[in-house]
Structure 1
């Protein structure tokens, strides 16, 4: 006859708890953590790009090189200028507004392939307007 010992049940229960914890970590908490890290990266990139656009608009208002100002800010923030595109609109005349739009490709910054889920998450865009002096 095959009988169990009374102290056998707690050790089996601890083993099943370990397996449940491992599954919970692997399939729930790790993807959640990856998503938090990804969104943190995207929010930081958005802040950097917006500030770079402000620097570019300020340079445009002073009749300086817009692209150079944006690239310098992007480089100083630790981002790649190769992934940056700058567009300037407005007349460069005194008293008129000049708008600078900066786009940054974030497709390789994230862990989860968000551009496959939402195409708008492949880049961040920042713009700023200043009046020409």
Structure 2
């Protein structure tokens, strides 16, 4: 995949740069939604800019399983076990969200999942990938502070 443009994170205020301990090729920037803390990001324009087990997730890419949520505001490398149904035995490849509703990883859906999308959950829950269970489940919607 090639992103239409390189979109990086907003610059971190100088007094918050100590929040980042970035690795090679990473940059320190405000978190995805600008919630007041800084994080390390691996900026990218194509999958070739990322490690072998990652994909370049483009800014404003929408997850087809999450009712059109705009889940990424920068281009960044994310862990990925899939990039489409062809990588998941015909099942959906979904975007797992972090606690701030930003994309955290791409994971395959399976027959063992408790949900396929937010519509399968009650109003206070969302369908997201539970790393501890290695499947998609309905979990309480979180708020980022």
Identify whether the pair has TM-score above 0.5, normalized to the shorter chain.
no
Q: Give TM-score, length-normalised by structure 1.
A: 0.22
Bigger share in strand = 2
Considering Cα pairs closer than 8 Å and 6+ residues apart, tell me whether 1 or 2 has the greater RCO.
1
> TM-score, with normalisation over the residues of structure 2?
0.21
Judging by fraction of residues, say which structure has more helix: 1
Larger Rg: 1
